[in-house]
Amino acid sequence: MLSTKPLRDIGAQLVDYPVPECTKYQFASNNYWRCLATFYTATIFHPVGTCKMGPYYDPYAVVDPELRVYGIEKLRVIDSSIMPRIPRGNTNAPTIMIGEKGSDMIKKHWLQSNE
């Protein structure tokens, strides 16, 4: 890509400072770039996982698959804190999906209990 006209025009150069976790691979090899993609990521201040969703027998799980808090009636957690792991990408889209799914669960429960 660096040899394309737009990048040549702006003087783009490859930064050849090796990432310490990836020095076991030859710089710029496919394995090096795979390693870089794994280690050279950050949360960008979008932490998740404080109320992990999981099965009842998981001692670290806070909510069940219906997003209900274990041991507390009528309380759900419907945000990115239910993700058991931080995704490598931005958390915006998954958080929106969790909210949409959670609202569908609440509507379904409310409609069933009012039949």
What's the rounded Cα separation, in Å, for the pair 47 and 24? 30
In terms of domains, do 25 and 51 share one? no
pLDDT tens-place string over residues 64-113: 999 999 999 999 999 999 998 888 778 899 999 999 999 999 999 999 99
First to last CA, the chain: 61
Pair (31, 13) in one structural domain: yes
| CB proximity list for 40: less than 8 A, separation 6 or greater | 19
Per DSSP, the residues of 12-77 read --------GGGTTS-TTSHHHHHHHHHHS---SS----TT-B--TT-TT--B-TT-BBTT-TT-B-
pLDDT, position 87: 80
Tokens of 35: 């390693």
31 and 51 assigned to the same domain:
no
The answer to whether the Cα torsion of 33, 38, 40, 45 is positive or negative is positive
- Are both 27 and 52 inside the same structural domain? no
Residues identified as active-site = 46
Indicate whether 51 and 102 sit together in one domain.
yes
**Confidence band (pLDDT; 50, 70, 90) for 42?**
low
Q: Is the pLDDT of residue 12 over 80?
A: yes
Contacts of 42 (CB under 8 A, 6+ apart): none
pLDDT of residue 19: 84
CA–CA dist 7, 24 (Å, integer):
29
Q: What percent of the chain has pLDDT over 70?
A: 97
Q: For the chain, what is the domain count?
A: 2
Q: Indicate whether 101 and 115 sit together in one domain.
A: yes
In a shared domain, residues 49 and 35: no
97 and 50 within one domain: yes
Question: Domain of 80?
Answer: 45-115
pLDDT at 21 over 80: yes
Residue type, position 58, single letter? D
Same-domain check for residues 74 and 115: yes
Same domain, 35 and 55: no
